[in-house]
Amino acid sequence: MRILVLLIALAVTNVAHAGGVERLKAFVAGAKTAESDFTQTVSDRSGRVTQQASGKMRFARPGKFRWDYVAPYSQVIVSDGVKLWLYDADLEQVTVKSLGDAMAGTPAALLAGDNAIEKYFTLKNAGTASGLEWLEATPKSRDTTFERIRMGFKGDVLAQMELFDFFGQRTVLKLAGLTRNPVIAPAYFTFTPPKGADVIGD
C-alpha cells in the first residue's frame, strides 16, 4: 500500500510540475480543432505600442486556420491546408499564396500544424511567470520572420503567445474563452474573394 501511495504521489507531482513543452504536446494531442477570441498588441524595439487589434481565431489540424480581425480594421487570414488567403477589406485586396512549407516556422505551425512540432522547432521550457507555464520555440528554418515564439499555458489551456521577429518587434496574442474541439464546418476554411476585389498571387 505504501508503494502504491508513493507511485500515486509521484504521478501527481509529475503532472503538477509539467513544463510548458509538456503542456504544448498535450494541447496538440488533445485539440484537433479550437476557437478563441484574441487581442493582439505589437510593440517596437523600444517597447512602444505600434498596433492593437482584436478578433476571433479558429483552426482545424492539419493546416486549416482562420483569423478574423474585427477591430480596429477588418482583415481575414484563411488557410484550407493548401492555399493561404489574406483579405484586407479597407484596400479591397486579396493576396493568395500556396501554403507549402511557408508555415513551417510560424505560429500557425504550432497551433494548426501536424504533430511533428519538433521537426520545425527547438522547444524548451521557459519557467513560470504571470501565473502561466511557458515554453520557448525557436524555428529551425531561417526562412521565417520569427526569431522565437513563447507560449503560455494556464493548466492545459493556451492563454498567451509572444512572437519576436528579426526586426525587434514583439507581438503579444492573448486568447480568451478558448474552446477545444468545437465542430467547425469545412467551408469555414475556404475563401472566395469578394466581387471587385483585386486578387494578387496564385
Q: What is the predicted pLDDT for the residue at 18?
A: 61
Quote helix, strand, coil % in the chain, to nearest 5.
20, 50, 30
Classify domain 19-201 by CATH number.
2.50.20.10
Q: What is the predicted pLDDT for the residue at 106?
A: 79
Q: How far is CA 94 from the centre of its chain?
A: 22
Per-residue pLDDT tens for 70-89? Answer: 999 999 999 998 999 999 99
Per-residue pLDDT tens for 156-200? Answer: 899 999 999 999 999 999 999 999 999 999 999 999 999 999 999
Q: How far is CA 198 from the centre of its chain?
A: 28
| SS3 (DSSP) at 92 | coil
Q: What does the domain layout of the chain look like in residue ranges?
A: 19-201
Q: Which amino acid is at 156?
A: D
Q: Contact, 83 vs 195, CB < 8 A?
A: no
Q: Contact, 135 vs 126, CB < 8 A?
A: yes
Q: What would you report as the CA-atom Rg of the chain, rounded to the nearest whole angstrom?
A: 19
Per-residue pLDDT, averaged over 11-17, amounts to 37
Per-residue pLDDT, averaged over 112-133, amounts to 87
Per-residue pLDDT, averaged over 63-75, amounts to 93
